[in-house]
Amino acid sequence: MIISGVTFYSPAQTAEKTGFSIDTLRYYEKIGLLDRIDRTAAGRRRFSADDLGFLGILRCLRDTGMPIAEMRRYAEVSRCGEETFEERIAILEAHDERIDRQIETLLAQREHLRDKIRYYREASR
């Protein structure tokens, strides 16, 4: 739906585009991850392209294991304008470092699994 040159998406369209369920979208709004979601005259939520863009970073943060509390902090500072760029960078860099550690752990664990697979293959010959 286009209103005054702005494209809006229904909750179902937003869920399809972002991979979040409609219940998750409602929950994210309830806990403050999403703010100022536009509504129709009938009170139904409608999401803008900007909302979808923000949901994209939330998807990334969630999929990479950022705790909800940190996601909320990131959302809060994101609404405060350019003066919070440094804090946003700090939040994202800290998360990026955790991801690096997780990747290192996963790679080590994968090697352990591969060693075990090799062992069983050799033992079963």
Per the structure, the complete domain to which residue 41 belongs is given by: 2-123
For position 6, what pLDDT does the model report? 77
Compute mean pLDDT per 10 residues along the chain, 125 residues long, and list them. 79 96 96 94 94 97 97 96 97 98 98 97 93
d(C-alpha 104, C-alpha 108), whole Å: 6
The number of angstroms, rounded, from the C-alpha of 47 to the middle of its chain's C-alpha atoms is: 16
Number of domains in the chain: 1
For position 20, what pLDDT does the model report? 97
All residues at 6 or more sequence positions from 51 whose CB lies less than 8 Å from its CB, including other chains: 9, 14, 34, 37
CATH number for the domain that contains residue 90: 1.10.1660.10
For position 3, what pLDDT does the model report? 67
DSSP state of 79: T
- pTM of the predicted structure, to 2 decimals: 0.85
Amino acid identity, residue 25? Answer: L
